[in-house]
Amino acid sequence: MRAIGYTRVSTEEQGDSRAGLEAQEAAIRAEVKHRGWELKEMMSDVASGGSLRKRDELGRALRMLAAKDADILVVAKLDRLSRSVLDFAGIMENANREGWAVAVLDLGVDTSTTNGKLIMHVMIALAQWEREIIGDRTKNALAAVRARGTKLGRPSRVGEDTRKLVRSLRGAGLSWKKVADALTAQGIPTGQVGAWHASTVRRIYQADPLAKPEG
């Protein structure tokens, strides 16, 4: 089996990146040798783990796997691949559809095996459930705001209407990013060029005297 090893350190860990990358690489090489696989390439990123964006080497690895230039993606730890269940499930959905496997060494998960495939399908199902729950919470929060007669205003003059919506979405359990995504999906203008960002809605919430304090 042809393997691609992938390692990552976050931007916060960058100062000690060499030690962290070397430890991950050693674990991957040992597993590949133990399993009798062929290590096609070792790839590495220095990037945040919360999203797949701005991770050029991971993108290259996924393209190689999709093109059948390798058979399995090997990572030392799950949080080196993604800290988001949805992102991880998305990778596994691609793997399932395109016919390649994922091995996460700290979890002992290898989707080239029968048990690993079962875990993969469970993770995908849980991620789909999470997507639907988030969608339901977003719709309910927006409906509640509209039912009170609130008009969704522009954040350039952040008034009570916009603050109410941010409070409602955050109170429904959405992350800052999910709140921003919901506002963008509803077509609510930002007052600037581009989409809403997590940092923007967080500032609105923290500046809102009626918002519940967060630790």
* Catalytically annotated residues: 10
Name residues whose C-beta falls within 8 Å of residue 181's C-beta, 6 or more positions apart in sequence. 196
In Å, what is the CA distance from 65 to each residue of 3, 25, 39, 84, 101? 9, 19, 13, 21, 9
Angle at 56 between CA 53 and CA 62, to 5 degrees: 90
Name residues whose C-beta falls within 8 Å of residue 112's C-beta, 6 or more positions apart in sequence. 1, 71, 72, 101, 103
Contact predicate 137/173, CB 8 Å:
yes
Q: How many CB atoms lie within 10 A of CB 157?
A: 8
Contact predicate 142/170, CB 8 Å:
no
If we measure between CA atoms, which residue out of 206, 158, 78 comes closest to residue 214? 206
In Å, what is the CA distance from 96 to each residue of 17, 70, 93, 102? 32, 14, 5, 10
